[in-house]
Amino acid sequence: KIAVIGAGGVGGYFGGRLAQAGADVTFIARGEHLRAMRERGLRVEAADGPFSIAPVRATDDPATVGAVDLALLTVKTYALSEALERMRPLVGPSTAVLTLQNGVEAPDLAAAAFGAERVLAGIAYCEVAIKAPGVIYQGTPLARIVFGELDGSVTPRAQAVADALTSAGIDTTLSTNVLGALWSKCCFICAMSGVTTLTRQPLGPLLADDESRELLRTVMSETHAVGLAKGVRFDADPVAGGLEMAARFPYGAKSSMLRDLERGGRLEVEALNGAVVRLGRRLGVPTPANQAIYAALRFFQPAADQRPSTGAGAPPA
C-alpha cells in the first residue's frame, strides 16, 4: 500500500509508473490537479509513450487513507514542513517514508517528525513537470531513483521498496552510501541552480566564460567542504564529476529554479544554497559564494519561504 504525497512532476511520474504496474497507489493532491485526476484520471506523457491511470485514487485528506507501507514524499522543499504534518495519518509503526527532495535537509526533517528508523533517503533524477491539471510531462528519458537506509545498511524493507520500484520499470539503485549520493547531487544542483538563476543565463554561456565557470566550481567546492565537515563520505570527487556532468548538458539548458524564477514561481533556494550557508556557519566552514547567491535570491521568494538569517548581528535561526 503506497501513498504519494505531492502528485506534481516527480510524484505523478513515479506514482503513475507504480500504479501502471498494478501497485495500490493513492495520490495526495489538491486544487485543480486533484479535480482533474478525479474526473479524468492521471495521464503521463512519458518519453517512451503516454499512459493513463483511470480511475485513479486521489484525495486531499490523508486521514481517509490510513497507514501505508510506503509513503513516497515528493513535494517541493518549500512545502515540506506542511506536508510532514499533513501526512501523519499515513505513517504507522511499519511505514517507510522515502524522501525525494532536492537538497540535503529532507531526511533529517522527516526523521525529526517520524523517527529516523522510518526514513529512507532518496534522490530522483528526472525531468518531469505538470503540463496541465491531471497531466504529467516527461522531457527526457532519464528517470532514476537512488535511495537507501540512512546508516547504509541493506534491510529487508529497503530491498522490498527497491523491488517494487524495479517491478514498475523504474531504474532503481539501492545505495549503501545514500548520503554521499545526496550530497554529491547537492554539490551539482547548488551550482547549476544557484548560478543560472543568479545570472539569468542557461548553463552553456556560463561554462564558456572563465569567471562564471570558476563560480560554478567554487559553489560546488564549498558545498563539498560542508559535506566533509558534516562527516559525509563521498565515493568520488563531486566537483570534478559535477563539471563533467555540466559539460554534457545542452548549451541552452536551464535549471528548474531559473525556470521557476522566470514564471514567477517559488524558489528552492532555502533548501539549496541556503542550507549550505546555514550548515557552513554551524560547522565553521566559509561559504561566501553560496552566501552571495542565497542573499540575492532571497528577495525573489515569498516572505513565508524565507528562514531567519543567521548572519552577524542577526538572531539565531
Would you name the residues annotated as active-site residues?
185
Cell of 5: 504525497
Amino acid in the structure at residue 63: A
Q: How far apart are CA 37 and CA 60, in angstroms?
A: 12
Helices (H), 7-100: 9-20, 31-40, 80-86
Give residue for cell 518531469.
128
Opening angle at CA 24, ends 19 and 27, nearest 5: 70
Cell of 252: 541552452
76, 95 Cβ separation under 8 angstroms: no
Dihedral sign of CA atoms 102, 107, 108, 111 in order: positive
- Rounded to the nearest 10°, the torsion over CA 184, 186, 191, 196 is 130
274, 307 Cβ separation under 8 angstroms: yes
Strand 25-28, strand 57-59: pairing: parallel
Give residue for cell 503521463.
44
